[in-house]
Amino acid sequence: MSSRGKTTFLAAVGLVISMAASILLLHHIDEIQPRATIEDALYINSPKIVRRASLGFDGLMACIYWTRTVQYFGHRHFLREHSYNELAPLLEITTALDPHLIPAYQFGASFLAPRPPNGAGQPERAVELMRYGVQNNPDNWNLYYNLGFIYYTELKDYAKAGEAFAQGSKVPNAHPFMKILAARMAEHAEEYSTARILWTATYESSKDNEIRENAAEHLRSLKVDDDVTQLQAAVDRFARNSGRLPANLWEVVAAERLPGIPLDPDGNPYELSADGQVQVQDPDDFPFLTKGVPPDYKPGPPKFHIQH
Q: Which is nearer to another protein, 27 or 298 (CB)?
A: 27
List contacts with another protein (CB under 8 A): 2-4, 7-8, 11-12, 14-15, 18-19, 21-23, 25-30, 33, 36-37, 40, 43-44, 64, 67-68, 70-71
Q: How far is CA 108 from CA 6, 73, 100, 285, in A?
A: 60, 11, 14, 24
Closer residue to another protein (CB): 214 or 279: 214
b/e per residue, 83-102, with b = 16+ CB within 10 A?
ebebbbbbbbbbbbbbbebb
Q: How far is the CB of 278 from another protein (least distance, A)?
A: 41
**Closest-CA residue to 38 (of 79, 93, 98, 1):** 93
Query: To which H or E segment does residue 279 belong?
Result: strand 278-279
Closer to another protein by Cβ: residue 43 or 260: 43
3-state secondary structure (DSSP) of residue 139? coil
- We find the least distance from the C-beta atom of residue 98 to another protein, in angstroms, to be 15
For the bound state, the minimum distance from the C-beta of residue 7 to another protein, rounded and expressed in Å, comes to: 5
Nearer to another protein, 8 or 193 (CB): 8
Q: Which is nearer to another protein, 9 or 297 (CB)?
A: 9
Beta bridge partners, 212, equal: none
Say how far apart CA 141 and CA 173 lie, in whole Å. 8
Q: How far apart are CA 218 and CA 256, in angstroms?
A: 28
Q: Judged by CB, which is closer to another protein: 33, or 230?
A: 33
Q: What is the DSSP string of 45-59?
A: --HHHHHHHTTT-HH
Question: CA-to-CA distance for 281 and 261, rounded, in angstroms?
Answer: 13
Q: CB of residue 21 vs another protein: minimum separation in angstroms?
A: 4
Beta strands at 271-272 and 278-279: parallel, antiparallel or unpaired: antiparallel
What are the distances in angstroms from CA 202 to CA 2, 109, 146, 205, 299? 70, 10, 8, 5, 25
Which of 29, 159 has the CB closer to another protein?
29
What is the nearest approach in angstroms of another protein to the Cβ of residue 56? 14
In whole angstroms, the minimum distance from the beta carbon of 22 to another protein comes to 5
Least Cα distance to 153 among 215, 206, 95 occurs for 215
The least CB distance from residue 103 to another protein, in Å, is: 13
